Amino acid sequence: MNDRFDCIIVGAGPSGITAAYKLASSGLNVVVFERGGYPGAKNMFGGILYSTVLGRLIPEFWNVAPVERHVTKRRYSILSEDSEVSIGLKFNAFDTPPYNNSFTVLRARFDRWFAKKAEEAGALVITETVVDDLIMEDGRVRGVRVGREGGEVYGDVVICAEGANSLLSEKAGLKRKPEPAEMVLGVKEVISLPRGVIEDRFCLEGGQGAALEFFGEATGGVTGSGFIYTNNDTLSVGIGCPVSVLKDKRLKPNELIEGFKSHPCVKDFLRGGTIEEFSAHMIPEGGYNALPKLTTDGLILVGDCAGLVNPSLYREGSNMAMASGLLAAETVLDARDKPAFTKASLSGYMEKLEKSFVLKDLKRYRDVPHILHSTPALFKEYPDAVLTLLEGHFTVSEESKGDIHEDIKRAFKSKVSIWKFLIDAYRARRLWT
């Protein structure tokens, strides 16, 4: 193996491969190290890829990439122990290219395909190889040490796309170990059902897909959420919950997902299914306030290790990962003619991120993690109170409507303080606006 490269990339996920694709396409000599047996082997996400960046890199990728379904329907539900209120959305405009840039995806398939594209563009992708350390010389990153014989590999610049477990980024001193409140654990099951059953059950046709999000009792009334996304012939079903909440309340992730799947308003979506896979992965959801330093001499962080996830209801991670990978690659290309990839010459990366949706959105939603953690009532007291109110309103009886409304107002007020509810609802608008 050539032991000197223009650029070394750690990790063959969406951010690393995007950077590799762009740099290799521009003629640079690029190597990607991936610790899994194949790209995607270690990767999992909820299931929806926003594809604006991918669409720019590979136009009409949906004709060739292993994407599952394009999302035409969305549904947001609030659950109490045995009831549900939901809002369902369907937009036929999302049924034509570019399909609203939203596709359900299974990562073991998608990442492998995407890495193949980078290889075709000229990148060298080496699997089964862990990067154990960065090589530091004269106070700057010069390369990486891999867990293989003769494992010192030198490059002009290193792009670290190591993912949520940011061991190298921490070693490089760019970030501290994340706090439990800054990380969400996602646990997912892939459940198979025949294509026709999925399309019938979710009222879909052709390649259309549905994304269902559940709050409140979805996670037993603690901060977090549940989801069901439709793939071709499987469902991605899971929950996400901050590590701090799991820890403080002593919750077992497997019991949380079991509770979600057996909820009376969830279980019927899953009938007759076969569990194909169980998986777990962390998501950095500390947002803007938890961002690490993103560059140092000879090193750029992209994707999850850089903390580039929008923690609001928009739930954008993989697209931000790809955007950061692309901007990192552009920064490297800009700096190519300068003598060295110093912190100063790489500072363009931060400027590019600031101008893009990535940091604009992270800034806009910077208070979301705090709102979620400081308002646990959003996940228990408020869903319960709202559903009690609605149940009363829709209960058929011979009591006069005036009396019913007095009753349900009283029941609502006995559960929550109206003023606190209104203030919290106002604060929580930032979760999705």
Partner 1 sequence: MVEDYLKPLEEKTLAEKLFLLKFEVDKESHLIVNAELCRECEERACLDTCPSGVYSWEEDKKEVTISYEGCLECGTCRIACGEGAIEWRNPRGGFGVSYRFG
User: Which spans of this chain sit near partner 1 (rule: CB under 8 A)?
Assistant: 35-38, 40-45, 106-109, 111, 127-130, 146-148, 164-165, 167, 177-180, 183, 185, 187, 189-191, 193-194, 197, 234, 243, 246-247, 250-254, 261, 267, 270-282
* Shortest separation between residue 189's beta carbon and partner 1, angstroms: 7
* Shortest separation between residue 243's beta carbon and partner 1, angstroms: 5
The rounded distance, in Å, linking the Cα atoms of 347 and 277 is: 42
* Shortest separation between residue 38's beta carbon and partner 1, angstroms: 8
* Shortest separation between residue 254's beta carbon and partner 1, angstroms: 5
Closer to partner 1 by CB, 47 or 143: give it: 47
Closer to partner 1 by CB, 46 or 383: give it: 46
Closer to partner 1 by CB, 66 or 348: give it: 66
Closer to partner 1 by CB, 243 or 327: give it: 243
* Shortest separation between residue 97's beta carbon and partner 1, angstroms: 26
- 279 Cβ neighbours under 8 A, 6+ residues apart: 44, 187, 188, 189, 190
Closer to partner 1 by CB, 254 or 417: give it: 254
* Shortest separation between residue 282's beta carbon and partner 1, angstroms: 5
* Shortest separation between residue 138's beta carbon and partner 1, angstroms: 27
What percent of the chain is helix, strand and coil (3-state, nearest 5)?
A: 40, 25, 35
By CB atoms closer than 10 A (0-12, 13-18, 19+), residue 79 is buried
* Shortest separation between residue 180's beta carbon and partner 1, angstroms: 5
Closer to partner 1 by CB, 309 or 387: give it: 309
Closer to partner 1 by CB, 40 or 298: give it: 40
Closer to partner 1 by CB, 128 or 354: give it: 128
- 248 Cβ neighbours under 8 A, 6+ residues apart: none
Q: How far is CA 6 from CA 159, 333, 341, in A?
A: 11, 10, 11
* Shortest separation between residue 390's beta carbon and partner 1, angstroms: 27
Closer to partner 1 by CB, 115 or 359: give it: 115
Closer to partner 1 by CB, 6 or 189: give it: 189
* Shortest separation between residue 310's beta carbon and partner 1, angstroms: 20
The rounded distance, in Å, linking the Cα atoms of 105 and 157 is: 31
